[in-house]
Structure 1
Amino acid sequence: MTVDPPIRLGRAADAAAIAALSRELIEEGLPWTWQPARVLRALQHPETNVAVVDAGDELVGFGIMEYLDTDAYLVLLAVRRSDQRKGRGSALLRWLETAARAAGAERVRLDARRDNAAARSFYNEHGYHEIAIQEGGYHGAVDRIRLEKWLRA
């Protein structure tokens, strides 16, 4: 049996670490749009959850979920490379999906880079389906794949 790592809501003090992980793992090769100030705004927004997982004193993963009318949008999800394949990303995703269900969301939508086969496989393994491709969707440089998962029948 696998035990999920402790997950907590993000704090303002986490903004710089979250931004750095986004830059390294999600926005690599693209303009850096999730800088600390933007992460801080997400942390403070009433319609957004930022969940984090720590290993010791260090933040090793995070997820940002926005809640819309009947959908939730997974804005970002990342786990430090050295901590991948240890269940931390899966635990973060389950936590955020549970929060989305509690908020009344019927489905979760997200976008992933077309060139990120590992992320696409991760989401497919968790029940997400690829529904659209937007060529050049990330700053005209990288294709975007839209995925979704229905939470309710």
Structure 2
Amino acid sequence: MQVLPTIRLATTADAQAIAALSRDAIEHGLRWRYTPARILAAIRSRTTNVAVAHANDEMHAFAIMDYADTTAHLVLLGVQATQRRRGFGRHLLAWLEDAARVAGIERIDVECRADNPGAIAFYRNQGYRVQDVVARYYDARIDAVRLAKTLRTPAV
């Protein structure tokens, strides 16, 4: 039986685990940029949501989303390798999209590594559309695929 995750905003106590998951699941092979200090800054930011997905008293996924006036940027979304394809990422993304709609956000943008076809397929399955490819986006050596999802039509 699949357990649905509990999703909540991260606390400062989550920063170390989030940073470690980012390093292991997203930033592997790159310089570690999302250190505990940077995660703490995101948790404390008034324009950022850092959310975590828990099940069985363990954190299995996290996401960071920055908000502007009408757009949001999904900075990171990571799922423990042993918990992938169990709905944690999908539920977490849906939770963030709902929060973005409430905030009046029209579009969410995200980049993912071009060498990660699983991530690209995940976002496409959630309604994100490829916008372009950004050459050498990560550490000036790995391309990024930029995707976006329209949540609502811009007001005129």
Deviation at 1:94, TM superposition (A): 0.1
Q: Which amino acid aligns with 1:113?
A: R
The total of aligned residue pairs comes to 152
Deviation at 1:123, TM superposition (A): 0.1
Q: Which amino acid aligns with 1:111?
A: E
1:92 aligned to 2:92? yes
Deviation at 1:7, TM superposition (A): 0.4
Q: Which residue of 2 aligns with 1:59?
A: 59
Q: Which residue of 1 aligns with 2:129?
A: 129
Instruction: Please list every run of 5 or more consecutive structure 2 residues that lacks an aligned counterpart in the other structure.
Output: none
Tell me, what secondary structure is at the counterpart of 2:91?
Answer: helix
Deviation at 1:132, TM superposition (A): 1.0
Tell me, what secondary structure is at the counterpart of 2:37?
Answer: helix
Deviation at 1:141, TM superposition (A): 1.5
Deviation at 1:70, TM superposition (A): 0.6
Instruction: Please list every run of 5 or more consecutive structure 1 residues that lacks an aligned counterpart in the other structure.
Output: none
Q: Which amino acid aligns with 1:50?
A: V
Deviation at 1:3, TM superposition (A): 7.2
- Greater shift, 19-28 or 53-62, is seen at 53-62
In the superposition, the TM-score normalised over structure 2's length comes to 0.94
RMSD: 1.2
Q: Which amino acid aligns with 1:69?
A: D
Moved >3 Å (runs of 4+): none
> Distance in 1 between the 2:54 and 2:8 partners?
9
Q: Which residue of 1 aligns with 2:77?
A: 77
